[in-house]
Structure 1
Amino acid sequence: MPTLIVLIVAIVAAFLLLNGLDRENAAACTGFHCMIPSDLDAAHEAWQDHAECDINNCSAKSHAYWMLADAGMLQPTAQMARKRVTS
């Protein structure tokens, strides 16, 4: 019986780790995969890779957003434009 409990706990822990520990509620996107894009191709890839991240807490997604906006590939919302002016 104790072996079964240990097995269940290990499976649940592995599931949580593989699913990013609820990325929507994470304080910030961290790790080797969270790199600042250096060109438009990298920005496009980062924008897709970090689709689940909050733009306010993920530096890779934020930088990708503004690189794509500056290149005319997306139109920033009025709220995002205000944030950029004030920051």
Structure 2
Amino acid sequence: MTRQITGAQIVVKALKDQGVDVVFGYPGGAVLPIYDEIFQQNDIKHVLVRHEQGATHAAEGYARATGKPGVVLVTSGPGATNAVTGMTDALMDSIP
């Protein structure tokens, strides 16, 4: 019998497989199942920010300082659009 896992479990496993140990973000509806999985384990630390744009800039700073991927987790809609500026900045500067 095969064990079924959720999409959120797959996301967290993929992050761990990539060596991610910190996620910057702001919880919201669409990503709450992923947050539930993050909070049920101890390998990935979550840094709560006050605004999605702050998460992207914090993740970029983390990537610059450590050389590790800077990971942001925000919800869909306004959460995603608030993250665009920081993601574009990191992209233009070739930051992982």
- Which structure: greater helix fraction? 1
Q: Normalising by the residue count of structure 2, what TM-score does the alignment of the two structures yield?
A: 0.28
Q: Which of the pair has the greater relative contact order for Cα pairs under 8 Å at 6+ separation?
A: 2
TM-score by length of 1: 0.30
Structure having the higher Rg: 1
Higher strand share: 2
